[in-house]
């Protein structure tokens, strides 16, 4: 059975953010991820991780004016200096939190910018970020996002992201494969995982429709978890879903799928 990380941006939202670390640990998680750490001092986040025996597996680079609707600036011409400042800030947080990888959100295609211009900007920014992260002992991820949830997002499919990774040409850059986004844009989940697993740095999950917990929609997660085991996936899978009711009530899928796994005595994150 795969190892799971609680996404604290989307789970345990019944609690203030800093209280979600303890809640995740109490629920059995040994690892966490979240979108952004930048609203909190590095030292406080590190203290929460240590106090609760948690490993942080992911956060994102700064993504522009999130509250104003921006979803990344990596494909935005004219904002390269802001992007580079964000890379440095993200690396500082990653080192303080012992987080091994950072995700870059490409962003929406800006008004008045051609796809060719956005692609060239994205490639240049990713080359810079990948080089900086490699020097820092970290790896960079890039994630396709579905256009139902974020209309206008520039990077939308696995094949597009893999071609982008080839163009960037850095071994420090890998694909972040979000099963939910992939299901909405392309399907072929098992085949894509099997064909490209060596180029995938992190996996996330949610069911569809609704982006709720596994078992609430059309995706056969029991099959996919067994498939990932057979493929030899050793990384964490981030639980980036919206609980249908409360977080704790929605965690029943872990016991249900775990009891059906080849090792019914598995424990979360072990």
Q: Can you state the angle between helices 80-97 and 42-51, rounded to 10 degrees?
A: 30
Quote the tokens at residue 129. 């970020």
Residue 95 CB partners (closer than 8 Å, separation 6+): 136
Please name which of 228, 203, 249, 218 lies closest in space to residue 103, comparing C-alpha atoms: 203
143 is catalytic: yes
Instruction: Write phi, then psi, for 6 (nearest 5 degrees).
Output: -75, 125
DSSP conformation class of 196: H
User: Rg (Cα) of the chain, in Å, rounded?
Assistant: 18
Task: Give the chain's largest Cα–Cα span.
Answer: 55
> Pick the catalytic residue: 14, 70, 143, 167?
143
Provide the b/e sequence for 41-69 (b: ≥16 CB within 10 Å): ebeebbebbeebebbbbbbbbbbbeeeee
> Pick the catalytic residue: 26, 44, 240, 249?
240
Please give the positions annotated as active site.
143, 240
């Amino acid at each position: 059975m795969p190892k799971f990380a609680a996404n604290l941006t989307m789970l345990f939202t019944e609690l203030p953010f800093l209280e979600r670390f303890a809640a995740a640990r109490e629920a059995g998680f040994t690892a966490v991820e979240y979108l952004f750490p930048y609203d909190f001092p590095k030292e406080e986040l590190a203290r929460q991780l240590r106090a609760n025996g948690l490993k942080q597996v992911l956060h994102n680079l700064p993504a522009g004016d999130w509250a104003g609707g921006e979803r990344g600036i990596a494909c935005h011409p004219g904002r390269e200096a802001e992007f580079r400042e964000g890379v440095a800030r993200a690396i500082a947080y990653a080192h303080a939190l012992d987080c091994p990888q950072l995700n870059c959100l490409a962003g929406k295609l800006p008004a008045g910018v051609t796809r060719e211009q956005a692609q060239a900007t994205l490639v240049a920014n990713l080359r810079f970020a990948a080089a900086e992260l490699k020097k820092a002992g970290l790896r960079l991820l890039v994630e396709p996002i579905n256009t139902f949830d974020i209309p206008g997002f520039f990077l939308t499919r696995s094949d597009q992201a893999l071609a982008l990774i080839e163009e960037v040409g850095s071994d420090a850059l890998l694909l972040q494969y979000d099963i939910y986004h992939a299901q909405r844009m392309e399907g072929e989940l098992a085949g894509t995982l099997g064909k490209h697993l060596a180029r995938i740095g992190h996996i996330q999950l949610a069911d569809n429709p609704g982006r709720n917990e596994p078992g609430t929609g059309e995706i056969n997660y029991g099959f996919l978890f067994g498939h990932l085991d057979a493929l030899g996936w050793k990384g964490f899978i981030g639980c980036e879903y919206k609980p249908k009711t409360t977080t704790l009530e929605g965690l029943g899928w872990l016991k249900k799928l775990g009891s059906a796994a080849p090792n019914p005595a598995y424990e979360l994150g072990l």
